[in-house]
Structure 1
Amino acid sequence: MAHVPFPDLPADLRERAARIRLACFDVDGTLTDGRLWLDAEGRELKAFHIQDGMGLRLLEEHGVRVALVTARESAVVAARGRELRLSEVHVGIRDKRALLEQLCSKHGHTPAEAAMMGDDLVDLGALSIAGLAVAPANAHPWVKARVHWHTRTAGGEGAARELCDLILTAQGKAEAVLAGFLQ
């Protein structure tokens, strides 16, 4: 028996997800739990959920460009982006809305074809123009009140994977993803 993912999802949300060609993800609080770990020398450490990484790769492998976008200067984020072979990794970005507009223009998409996932105020500009604006379950309340959808799981605990799975499902690609792993 086949499992039907997202059975109670409103039709307008499915339609938004079906249009996505570019998926942008904030990092701290979205791909991580939002805590910053610093060692005695001030070097940054972050923990990433392995299922989120798989989801990001699956999007890219099935025709959806992925961008990591963080306001912080972070060698850790750059390294994670390289490890996942992501198309776009942007660190030190203060104006995420402007970057989202640039990425859409660069790749021939409209903002309606872009998803943005973010958890805090610095993400609101990009979230406000994205065709699919998403927040993790533990996002700041002001952000959660202004998105199209929020995940069941928290940032750093698989929230990004939920969005990836939603997009793949809405685009009719979930069965192809599964078939690739069942062979």
Structure 2
Amino acid sequence: MTYSHINDYPADIRERAARVKLACFDVDGTLTDGRLFFDSDGRELKAFHVHDGQGLVLLRKSGVAVAFVTARASAVAEQRAAELGLESHTGVKDKLDCVVGIASRLGIGLDEVAFMGDDLPDLRVMLQVGFAVAPPDAHPWVRERVHWRTSARAGRGAAREFCDLLLAAQGHAEALLSEVTRVEGERIEGKA
């Protein structure tokens, strides 16, 4: 299902999204398509979608804390998080413990936390947070237990779709669009 307006979302999804103060994301299979690439020297390569990155930055700038929480030790994920100005936790053995720690440090209850993941290592934390989200290509055991599923696939805009929902539910989407169109209008008129 494609959503074009915040009121297209079910009321319970809008309510959950409006409460989120911390959004945590698994990396492989959520921010990437789940495939792992290694070069001939054994170095890991990952492909991230630029739209997802923009959404993550917009969330952060709108006051929602954003963190990567992944079981794989990954210099690539750490680099991507740093590039976007996000908190990164890689090589995490217990994702629930990690997310509880982040939320506690920020003074945020688990009902104000969202987690987007795709497979069994994510499920324990997803069952405890206020808003659990998965891409449509998540493992079925996870997909059937989340609050909401994106229509975009992992690594192909799923995270951006989720970020856009959070931004809209919290009243930031219209302001972001107004600012962009105002600046663009000034640029066209020669004022910027």
Task: Give the TM-score normalised by the residue count of structure 1.
Answer: 0.96
Q: Please state how far the C-alpha of 1:126 moved relative to its aligned partner.
A: 1.0
Aligned equivalent of 2:73: 73
Q: Is 2:24 the counterpart of 1:60?
A: no
Aligned equivalent of 1:161: 160
Q: C-alpha separation between the residues in 2 aligned to 1:6 and 1:162?
A: 12
Q: AA paired with 2:24?
A: C
Aligned residues: 180
Q: Please state how far the C-alpha of 1:79 moved relative to its aligned partner.
A: 0.5
Pick the structure with greater CA Rg. 2
Aligned equivalent of 2:128: 129
Q: C-alpha separation between the residues in 1 aligned to 2:113 and 2:130?
A: 5
Aligned equivalent of 1:89: 88
Q: AA paired with 1:25?
A: F
Aligned equivalent of 1:145: 144
Q: C-alpha separation between the residues in 2 aligned to 1:54 and 1:143?
A: 26
Percent identical residues: 57
Aligned equivalent of 1:11: 11
Q: Please state how far the C-alpha of 1:6 moved relative to its aligned partner.
A: 4.2
Q: Please state how far the C-alpha of 1:5 moved relative to its aligned partner.
A: 2.0
Q: Is 2:28 the counterpart of 1:28?
A: yes
RMSD: 1.1
Q: AA paired with 1:64?
A: V
Q: Mind listing any 5+ residue stretches in structure 1 that lack a counterpart?
A: none
Equivalent pair of 2:115/2:133 in contact (CA under 8 Å): yes
Equivalent pair of 2:135/2:149 in contact (CA under 8 Å): yes
Q: C-alpha separation between the residues in 1 aligned to 2:70 and 2:153?
A: 18
Q: Please state how far the C-alpha of 1:179 moved relative to its aligned partner.
A: 1.7
Q: Please state how far the C-alpha of 1:121 moved relative to its aligned partner.
A: 0.4
Q: Mind listing any 5+ residue stretches in structure 2 that lack a counterpart?
A: 184-192
1:60-82 CA distance string (max 9 Å, x none): 00000000011001000010011
SS in 2 for 1:41: coil
SS in 2 for 1:133: strand
Q: C-alpha separation between the residues in 2 aligned to 1:4 and 1:90?
A: 33
SS in 1 for 2:8: coil
1:62-115 CA distance string (max 9 Å, x none): 0000000110010000100111011x1000002111111111100000000000
Runs of 4+ in structure 1 off by over 4 angstroms are none
SS in 1 for 2:127: helix
Q: Please state how far the C-alpha of 1:20 moved relative to its aligned partner.
A: 0.3
